[in-house]
A and B are shown apart, each in its own frame.
Chain A
Amino acid sequence: MTRQVLLTGGRVLDPSQGTDVVTDVLLGEGKVVAIGRNIGQPDEALVVDCEGMIVSPGFIDVHCHLREPGRADVETIASGARAAAAGGFTAVCAMPNTDPVIDNPAAVGFVVRQGLLANAARVYPIGAISVGQRGEALAEFGEMIDAGAIAVSDDGKPVVSAQLMRTALEYARTFGVPVIDHCEEPTLAAGGAMNEGLVSARLGLKGIPDEAEEIMVIRDILLARLTRSHVHLAHMSTKGSVELIRWGKERGINVTAEVCPHHLSLTEDAVEGYDTNAKMNPPLRTAEDVAMLRDAVRDGTIDLVATDHAPHHYDEKEREFSNAPNGIVGLETALSVVVDSLVVPGYLDFGTLVERMSCSPARLFGLPGGTLRKGAPADVTIFDPSVRWKVDPAQFLSKGRNTPYAGMTLTGRAICTVVGGEIVYTLNEQRDAK
């Protein structure tokens, strides 16, 4: 039996029940026990002073790459889960594009077990859509879901065959899980290293047009209509994709979508100077795309924010731009980037931020959490909404250091992360440990 935890004097912000009030929260036996001013203070309770902080249901990242099995030199499930907790995430969903691919129940069980051992953020496996992510035969969704998978995806690669995508959507509907697609028309995107436009023309880098994403976005929306299944579109990056998702939602099609913090804050200009930490897929786009994506997060066309946390080894990024791998780490900067690029300029209030980073992912993916209702899992994020801090990748708990935000000063930071009623991260302890 774990010690009770009393979070005192914080601004408790829980859009799932319309709560926004300065009060106390009592956690016990892994669950939310009570919220209120006069809930008492059990003698043995651990008291956390949350004055000036926001206390919200724990953030959930539905899209990260934890690299284990296969590349434990770059990230492990344990280091990724600790990095997640340091970023205020109480749960993360691990993409299956590891080596070997998570395409069978034994592999799913491995991720579940490593996640439990990490004793940090919860780790939910995502199973592959196709065996080996080869885009041919369907993987065993049912077996993987029984073993703990919460969705299926071939992320890292698109599902090229429309027929396979149709079948995956139909089959996943049987088991009630979403199919997550990485929208990229592979022949249009082939060899591309950045957004196609004036900057790519000047830098002499092969561009990836918006249409490479949008063609697959509309295909998937139409297949979701055909199958009446839930399709979730990963890492949306273009204005056109937002328009297409809006079109789909207006027609009642079961499409949901995510956007990454970097697509809400940076443009293709970050590639100037051939900075490989500005290389990701989909690529950074234009200011017009960023503005549209911000609007879409506010109005809910984009349902949630996900990191696409993608650690790479220093040596792999320290090379010629076209030869460097795609992706950046994101777990430990996501909250701050969203605060800085959406809340500070007034696009978003903190309530909507919590909705997009906690309530919405829990609801859409059928995960525990996303609420502080009495009896809900005691997964809580406590963050300082206004602290300014300078990003120093050397301090990351992730093994990855590949971030375009190094040296930047950002706003807002997780102070304490509670998972199942246990404090798994405090900023002060991280500081003391260093």
Chain B
Amino acid sequence: MTAGAPLGKDLLGLEPLSGEQITLILDTAEPFKEISERAIKKVPTLRGSTVVNLFFENSTRTRVSFEFAEKRLSADTVNVSSGASSVSKGETLVDTARNLEAMRIDMVVMRHPSSGAAAFLAERIESNVINAGDGTHEHPTQGLLDLLTLRDHFKKIAGLRVCICGDVLHSRVARSNIWGLRKLGAEVAVCGPRSLLPSAIDDMGVTVFSRIEEAIEWSDALNVLRLQLERMTAGYIPSLREYNRFFGVTRERLERAPRDVLILHPGPMNRGVEIDSDVADGPHSVILPQVTNGVAVRMAVLYLLSGGRPELAEAAKTGKAGGAA
């Protein structure tokens, strides 16, 4: 653990962070954006650091994004996924992590199906832990990349009206967005069938819309959540067809809005269910810039947790200032 580290040892969620800490990460991400635009996408900032990407759930986008962020900072990375690991032989999470740590690693990026798994791990190992999604709790780097994408577009977060649409109940992306947006002064709403909203949603400091038309009329931006197909089989909604009819984000609905509404989606999309193709691929969609920003935000988090000083992030690009060095 680094003394005076601006984020502490771990990134477990956005709820425990202050607005200043979140802004610091976003500001630190700015200079890192440029690295990915270079022909040679690599700086020596984390040279000599070892990062393990420990994925107990399938992921393409998040795992690859972290891996690019690590490699572009010159860290040594190892990917462990649950199917191939000793977890499938019955090893406990803490034993897996302690064994990895005995090989002298510096950071663990973990995705896990249980809420709180990242906190559990962080308490038990010395290495920095970055939560890449824990159950239905938080997915902080997704929240951060959403914030960065909103800030790129609107040049501010405070005062923005952002509505999170869909399965808030099971969404770690929704929780990280709610905390991040509120801490930076945005107004937050959610919209979805009540069976997919937490019963305590009215106490979470957000506006609740039951009709997507009202949500669109209110919003500057919509963050459209993926509707997991198993929610239908589990009986939370009767059919995808009905979901699309009442909650789908369609071009017709957006065209009736009083202003252009920015469209975010954490992916992977179910086209024709929560979002129509001409919206996802339309002029107000920032779904691909979100993915680009994901790498920059994750570089910033890796840099700050490794002890990098925020004011040196610009210099770190050129290799003149090391992270943990």
**Chain A: residues with CB nearer than 8 A to chain B?**
196-198, 200-207, 209, 273-274, 315, 318-323
A-B contact pairs, 5 of them (CB 8 A): A202-B175, A204-B134, A320-B114, A320-B120, A323-B114
A284 to B188, CA, bound (A): 30
Q: Are B200 and A200 in contact (CB under 8 A)?
A: yes
Say how far B104's CB is from chain A's closest CB, in angstroms. Answer: 24
Is there a chain A Cβ closer than 8 Å to B136's Cβ? yes
Q: Are A198 and B203 in contact (CB under 8 A)?
A: yes
Give chain B residues whose Cβ lies under 8 Å from the Cβ of A322. 114-116, 135
**Chain B: residues with CB nearer than 8 A to chain A?**
15, 92-94, 112, 114-117, 119-120, 134-138, 172, 175, 198-201, 203-204
- Nearest 3 A/B pairs, CB to CB: A204-B137, A274-B116, A320-B114
Say how far B189's CB is from chain A's closest CB, in angstroms. Answer: 16
Q: Are A204 and B115 in contact (CB under 8 A)?
A: yes
Q: Are B114 and A201 in contact (CB under 8 A)?
A: no
Contact (A319, B94) CB under 8 Å given A203-B116, A204-B136: yes
Give chain B residues whose Cβ lies under 8 Å from the Cβ of A274. 115-116, 119-120
Give chain A residues whose Cβ lies under 8 Å from the Cβ of B204. 198, 201-202
A47 to B172, CA, bound (A): 64
Most central of A204, A207, A274, A315 by chain B CB within 10 Å: A204
Most central of A198, A202, A207, A318 by chain B CB within 10 Å: A202
Q: Are B92 and A315 in contact (CB under 8 A)?
A: yes
Say how far B91's CB is from chain A's closest CB, in angstroms. Answer: 11
Give chain A residues whose Cβ lies under 8 Å from the Cβ of B94. 318-319
Q: Are A204 and B138 in contact (CB under 8 A)?
A: yes
Known: A198-B203, A201-B199, A318-B92. 7 other contacts (CB 8 A): A196-B199, A198-B200, A200-B198, A202-B204, A205-B115, A274-B115, A322-B114
A416 to B92, CA, bound (A): 42
Q: Are B201 and A273 in contact (CB under 8 A)?
A: no
A209 to B204, CA, bound (A): 18
A322 to B137, CA, bound (A): 12
Give chain B residues whose Cβ lies under 8 Å from the Cβ of A319. 92-94, 120
A332 to B132, CA, bound (A): 41
Q: Are B93 and A320 in contact (CB under 8 A)?
A: yes
Given B120, B175, B201, B203, which contacts A204 in the complex, CB threshold below 8 Å? B175
A274 to B135, CA, bound (A): 13
Give chain A residues whose Cβ lies under 8 Å from the Cβ of B117. 320
Q: Which residue of B lies closest to A191 (CB)?
A: B234
Give chain A residues whose Cβ lies under 8 Å from the Cβ of B138. 204
Say how far A288's CB is from chain B's closest CB, in angstroms. Answer: 14
Say how far B16's CB is from chain A's closest CB, in angstroms. Answer: 11
Q: Which residue of A lies closest to B138 (CB)?
A: A204
Say how far B151's CB is from chain A's closest CB, in angstroms. Answer: 25
A197 to B203, CA, bound (A): 9
Q: Are A207 and B135 in contact (CB under 8 A)?
A: no
Say how far B1's CB is from chain A's closest CB, in angstroms. Answer: 18
Q: Are B115 and A321 in contact (CB under 8 A)?
A: yes
Give chain A residues whose Cβ lies under 8 Å from the Cβ of B201. 201
Q: Are B120 and A201 in contact (CB under 8 A)?
A: no
A117 to B201, CA, bound (A): 55
Q: Which residue of A lies closest to B204 (CB)?
A: A201
Q: Are B15 and A321 in contact (CB under 8 A)?
A: no
A200 to B137, CA, bound (A): 9
Say how far A240's CB is from chain B's closest CB, in angstroms. Answer: 15
Say how far A201's CB is from chain B's closest CB, in angstroms. Answer: 4
A206 to B134, CA, bound (A): 13
A318 to B198, CA, bound (A): 28
A206 to B135, CA, bound (A): 10
Q: Which residue of B lies closest to A209 (CB)?
A: B199
A205 to B114, CA, bound (A): 9
Q: Which residue of A lies closest to B197 (CB)?
A: A201
Given B92, B93, B116, which contacts A205 in the complex, CB threshold below 8 Å? B116
Give chain B residues whose Cβ lies under 8 Å from the Cβ of A204. 115-116, 134-138, 172, 175
Q: Are B199 and A207 in contact (CB under 8 A)?
A: yes
Give chain B residues whose Cβ lies under 8 Å from the Cβ of A273. 119
Most central of B116, B172, B175, B203 by chain A CB within 10 Å: B116
Give chain A residues whose Cβ lies under 8 Å from the Cβ of B134. 204
Q: Which residue of B lies closest to A201 (CB)?
A: B198
Give chain B residues whose Cβ lies under 8 Å from the Cβ of A201. 198-201, 203-204
